[in-house]
Amino acid sequence: MPSPFPAIDRLLQAQQWNEAVRAIDALPGAATDVPALQRRRRMALAMAGRLVEALESAQRVVAGPEAEPADLQHLAHILLRTGRHGEAFDAAAAAIRAAPSPVRPHAIAIAAAVLEPDVAPRLVALLGPPPTDEGHAPRPCRARTVAVPWRLPVYRPYSGPHPVITSTLGRGCRFEPRWATAATPAQPARALPMLPALTAWAARLDAAGRAALAEFLVHRLPFCFHAVPAADLTFHHTVPFALPGAAGNRPWVLHLEHLNMLFAPMITYPTAVVRPDDPQVALVRDLLADDACLGVFTHIRETKALVDRLFDDPRIRVKTVYRRFGFDLEPTRRRPKAPAVRRTVTSLLFTNSLARDNFFIRGGPDVLGAFVDLHRRHGGIRLVMRSATPEFGAEELIRRTRRHPAIAWLTEPLSDAEIDTLYEEADLFLLPSGLLHAVSLVRALRAGLGVVASDVFGVSEFLRNRVNGLVVPGRRASVTPRVEGAVFAEDSRRLLHPSSEPPEPLFHARFRAAVDLLLRNPHLQAALRRNARFGAARDHAGERWAADVSTYVEERWAARPLSLR
């Protein structure tokens, strides 16, 4: 019998949770007793919200002869989600005693104590006293000092020190960043001083809010386990890793690109439905409306409008602003390059952040399929694929294109300077993505490439069709379904579960035709590339962006409430 794992893992990759459970349950009886399959079934049930069944599955795994400490952690998490806080604490404590290093069971134990205050004394005994150090005292500095925690492990799943944010600390920045040390060990007892503030927060919530808070804390508490340098304020990005009572309620600012990341990982791609009455929305509203949140800035106009609409709170609206994004290429790699009308070989570029599912989210199958077809008609073209190859999906397409003489695969990590060189050496940049990738677009525009991109959320911030690139319609409609009562909805699962053919034939045909147009029309290509370079230099300069952010931070600092002075 062939291994069932590849087929099941494809369903899990595409977040087809119920289908994965059915596939496991359809296997012969003996096969379903395999611990690895039981763990997949437990995860799928929990992700599908089928918590009663997930709890039964988790208990079965823990009782098995091959149970591991991580299985206790998963049991504790499911118990917490079902409202059995005391039992969740017991399971988390057992997981900690079995393996003290993972942070998740500590977060579960603390969340259980917040929602079940009688557990608090046992929590203190479990974690020990909190560290007494508050970080080094800030040295005298005329600039505003800002703690930057992006190198901490908790940020890794959320881009870490991503160029879209580190550009705020480049030329033009007027505040002094103080980076957290990546090697700082997690010390869960650092969260103990927050217990009174968190318990008071939980006491103000109804039953649905308390259930949402339990999950919220599991994912946000680990940030508080690490020391953050002493500074005037903390600079968060992507996700508001701030909680009441954290670091003495130090003021903080947040940079935000996409609305759904406010709720990550509880709500995030590839599926997201955000409604104003969601309990998670109420929790984030509390955080953003709090005096400790000095401000939220975004480089996407639509995001600013959605934040205003979702929260409908004047306290949040007054401190939320839009600023046009800027980003500079590596200066040592920049060199003048006039847009060529047509070279002997036209180089097409596709880049991916090496996360394996990003190959599909960024439209890798569309790029490969279009190139193979166009190469038959345009012999003088080549394709550079800077991407990891996916573990599942499109295997036949990958196999064929791996051997294609005009396709070069770059699967190893590259430095920013090496990536910038790829852009400078290319002619066209292809991004038929299901999500916005702002840095990739600005890199391509600043390098003067002919850009062909999909019409997804946020692309209009950077591209105007037939002015500085070609915008292919249809992908946004497929990944942003209309959901009654939702301020925002997104579903990219169709892109995550492709066959060896691109997942949306009509969009693929439009995308292929747009690339073909630039290959056949060198004068249009030259005009787009010229407009891309000049427009990006004018609108998306990194120094201007850093200066704008500095001004905003200074303004919000000056307007901070008296309680924070």
Q: pLDDT higher for 138 or 393?
A: 393
Q: What is the pLDDT of residues 101-140, one digit of tens each?
A: 999 999 999 999 999 999 999 999 999 999 876 554 555 5
Q: At residue 317, does pLDDT exceed 70?
A: yes
Tokens 């952010």 sit on residue: 549
**Which 8-state DSSP code applies to residue 160?**
S
Give the pLDDT confidence score for residue 163 in this predicted structure: 80
Q: State how far Cα 315 lies from the chain centre.
A: 26
Check if the beta carbon of residue 311 is closer than 8 Å to that of residue 304.
Answer: no
Residue 334 in this model has a pLDDT that exceeds 70: no
Q: What is the pLDDT of residue 316?
A: 97
Q: What is the dihedral of CA 438, 444, 445, 451, to 10 degrees?
A: -100
For residue 141, what pLDDT is reported?
61
Mean pLDDT of 418-423: 90
Q: What pTM, to 2 d.p., does this model score?
A: 0.91
CB 355 within 8 A of CB 466: no
- Residue 408's pLDDT is 95
Residues in contact with 221: Cβ distance below 8 Å, sequence separation at least 6, in sequence order: 106, 107, 110, 111, 191, 243
Confidence class of residue 332 from pLDDT cuts 50, 70 and 90? very low
| Cα dihedral 501/503/505/508 (nearest 10) | -90
Other CB atoms closer than 10 Å to residue 384's CB: what's the count? 17
Residues 285-294 have pLDDT tens digits of: 999 999 999 9
Question: Which contiguous run of DSSP H or E holds residue 471?
Answer: strand 470-472
Residue 335 has pLDDT above 60, yes or no: no
Residue 355: per-residue pLDDT:
66
| 225 pLDDT higher than 90 | yes
Helix residue ranges, H only, 104-190: 104-115, 120-127, 163-166
Q: What is the pLDDT of residue 565?
A: 82
26-63 burial string, b = 16+ CB within 10 Å, else e?
eeeeeeeeeeebbbbbbbbbbebebbeebbebbbbbbe
Gap between the Cα atoms of 425 and 307, Å rounded: 39
Q: Using alpha carbons only, what angle is made at residue 225 by residues 222 and 230, rounded to the nearest 5 degrees?
A: 125
Give residue 6's pLDDT.
Answer: 83
Does residue 188 have a cis bond before it (omega within 30 degrees)? no
Q: How confident is the prediction for the chain on average, in pLDDT?
A: 90
Which residues have CB under 8 Å from 520's CB, separation 6+? none
Residue 564: what pLDDT? 85
pLDDT band at 342 (very low <50, low <70, confident <90, very high): very low
Whole-number pLDDT of residue 465: 98
Q: What digits encode the pLDDT tens for the residues 175-202? A: 999 999 888 789 999 999 999 999 999 9
Rama region for 123: left / alpha / beta (φ>0; ψ in -120 to 50; rest): alpha
Angle at 497 between CA 303 and CA 267, to 5 degrees: 35
- Tell me the percentage of the chain whose pLDDT exceeds 70: 93
Tell me what the mean pLDDT of segment 251-270 comes to: 90
> Is pLDDT at 270 greater than 60 in this prediction?
yes
> Do 378 and 360 form a contact (C-beta atoms < 8 A)?
no
Angle at 227 (CA atoms; ends 129, 553), nearest 5 degrees: 135
Q: How many residues does the chain have?
A: 565
pLDDT tens, position by position, 276-312: 999 999 999 999 999 999 999 999 999 999 999 999 9
Taking residues 388-394, report their average pLDDT. Answer: 78
The beta strands (E) that lie in 411-469 are given as 428-431, 450-454
Model pLDDT, residue 331: 52
- 430-469 residue pLDDT tens: 999 999 999 999 999 999 999 999 999 999 999 999 999 9
How far CA 436 is from CA of 63, 141, 154, 311, 362, in Å, comes to 44, 37, 23, 23, 9
Confidence at residue 138, expressed as pLDDT on a 0 to 100 scale = 52
Lowest mean pLDDT among 13-22, 121-130, 534-543: 13-22
Average pLDDT over residues 86-110: 96
CA distance 88 to 110: 10
- The DSSP secondary structure of 227-254, one letter per residue, reads -----SEEEEESS----TTGGGT--EEE
* Residue 378 confidence (pLDDT) above 50: yes
